[in-house]
Chain A
Amino acid sequence: MPVAPLALEVHALRKTFGNVVAVDGLDLEVQAGECFGLLGPNGAGKTTTIEICEGLQEPDSGDVLILGQRWSSDERALRERLGVQLQETQFSEKVTVEETITLFRSFFRRGPVVDEIIRLVQLDEKRGARVGTLSGGQKQRLSVACALAGDPELLFLDEPTTGLDPQSRRQLWDLVERLRASGRSIVLTTHYMDEAERLCDRVAIVDHGKVIAIDTPRGLIRALGAEQVVEVELAEGAAVPSGLFDTTAGVLGSRIDGPLWTLQVSAAHEAVPAVLRTLESAQLSLTELRTHTPTLEDVFVSLTGRHLREQ
């Protein structure tokens, strides 16, 4: 049996808009059948990257191989094999769910029947409803439905849950998980950590147009080396010596951001008393103390020194 080609191969991709560098030498490999996440803050170059992969933008330089084919030579064949969901597509409000999906289905040579798509995205009750009457979550599922019309081998989802309420997000996650279980490759972008952790087999962390880390969500978190994260918030205005926790027992790394210290620790039950003793001897009072298991957010902070969603 021949080795299946990679779902996506991106090499040294570059794209500038005027003097803004959106994508700056980005490399990626996505395995067939994998759900791959591009994680990064707004403006990191995720959408530009994914739109180049979708054949909607031209890169300045670099090489993109999709399902073993190239846009320059195989555009028509590729269009039949991909499912694309864009950020911010607004479908015609006067047209019903079923009519919209039927339209998209008609563009593809092969694919599931319309009823089946509607059932998969759980819009059965809304099939006759006009798009204008749908909720945000329902519109987003319609958008995914249209991307499924050609039974794609590779599905691109660009920030599928941005702006949705928690319940709608979970519904969409369930849908993505069902799609992943059906064996197709998925590339999704997100700036939500929990989304990437829950849905993706592997995650590339993108910042300033480059991949700065790439691994499974667990692997990225494990590389942090910490078992627990302790956040300590000090009273405003206190003069804080830098390197305050450098010698505290059990603290592996620390970072200060205003009054907030973020400490990576090996074991919370040993580190927290030591942290409290350090504060006491420095005569600092704390206003809040939290611990949590590390997340991709902590990975991002430790890699870039910034939070994923500033403000």
Chain B
Amino acid sequence: MSESSPKQSAWNPGEGGSSSPLLQLTLIRFREFLREPEAVFWTFIFPLLLASGLGLAFRSRPGDVAKVGVLTTAPGAESVRAALTGDSTLQIVSLDDSAAVTALRIGTVALVVVATDSERVEYRYDRARTEARTARLLVDQALQRKRGRTDAVQVSESIVSERGSRYIDFVLPGLLAMNLMGSGMWGIGFSIVDARKKKLLKRFVATPMRRHHYLASFLLMRLGLMVIEVTVITVFGYFAFGVPMRGSLVTFGVACLLGALVFGSLGLLVASRARTIEAASGLMNLLMLPMWVASGVFFSAGNFPDAVQPVIQALPLTAVVDAVRGIMIQGLGWAALALEFAIIATWLVLSFGIALRIFRWR
């Protein structure tokens, strides 16, 4: 059979042999992704590990104790030590001069108490550290009470540990948005630059393939993966840490969809002319680094000075983080997030439009 030379007329007309090019292109995108174990790890597993790590590190700790060092070489060390031991909020260690310096420096104690004589103590600590300021208050209160100070005001406490106000509730929506950015930009940008480098783009252009089908296949893959990523992260957050979903699922879905599209388009834009992975990589970092730092993923964007706030608020990641966090934690709706949606839509239209215009096919 293979010996016969098939005449052109012997070809079967390809009915059934052909299917939609957009479908085939998208299928190839998914195959390329799913057959790359590293990509699967960074997209799905890594955000979960990061969320777990942060969730554990910043979990609410009711029985938290302050670690305090007492300088043994100081004259009143013994009496201070006696006064502080027994306080359940404090953990006391004895340190000599050099050990005290080291312990403060590396943070194994939050504060060092130096009893200069029986009537005087000196606190050594870093005012910028929250746990050091807390330790100072606790130690001071314990010492003063031991010497007979009484409280002037009667206090009663009711402890709040509400879902939605913990650090994990803050950081998980941030990680979700950051993941949309990372996988959108790396996933699309690298595949395209790689195809250009391997002359595959040129080869596609030599066929009747519609160019917008090629670009659309990347966005479709991103949307497909986005659904999985977002589901994995939110379901994990809900069951592992009880991170709430207070807003409407529809609003949430639209925010994630727009987020995936805007970062996919930025990925297209970065890859639209780059000929090497290195060039694309540099551009990606240039674009993403400021957003990792400033867009409020790990801490509130409000920490930055007022002067730069307009810039930070206009960044696409800030808008996506604020929208996702607002929906999940505060239950915000369309009206409250109109500005964020407008910012995301603007970035989407601009980056996709420019990418289409300047795209290098050869």
Contact = CB atoms under 8 A, between A and B. Distances in A.
B6 A178 contact: yes
A183 interface: yes
Interface residues of A, number: 47
Given A76-B208, A111-B17, A113-B14, A88 B6 contact: no
Interface stretch (B59-67, B199-207, B296-304): B199-207
A105 B203 contact: no
B31 interface: yes
Given A89-B199, A182-B7, A84 B12 contact: no
Contacts of B7: 181-183
A150 interface: yes
A151 B207 CA distance: 12
Interface in A98-140: 99, 102-116, 119-120, 122, 130
A149 B17 CA distance: 10
Contacts of A102: 19, 24
Contacts of B202: 56, 86, 89
B105 interface: no
B208 A79 contact: yes
A284 interface: no
Contacts of A150: 207-208
A78 B149 CA distance: 95
Q: Is the interface of B mostly helix, strand, loop or mixed?
A: loop
A114 B17 contact: yes
B interface residue count range (under 10 / 10 to 19 / 20 to 34 / 35 or more) = 35 or more
Contacts of B1: 119
B143 to A, nearest CB: 67
Interface in B243-267: none
B18 interface: yes
A79 B18 CA distance: 16
Interface string B1-16: 1100111101111101
B207 A56 contact: no
A108 B208 contact: yes
Contact of A105 (B18, B23, B206): B18
Given A89-B199, A89-B200, A105 B17 contact: yes
Given A95-B28, A114-B17, A120 B6 contact: yes
A105 B7 CA distance: 19
Given A56-B206, A184-B8, 14 more contacts: A56-B362, A84-B207, A86-B206, A87-B199, A88-B199, A95-B31, A106-B19, A106-B25, A113-B17, A116-B11, A120-B6, A151-B14, A182-B6, A183-B7
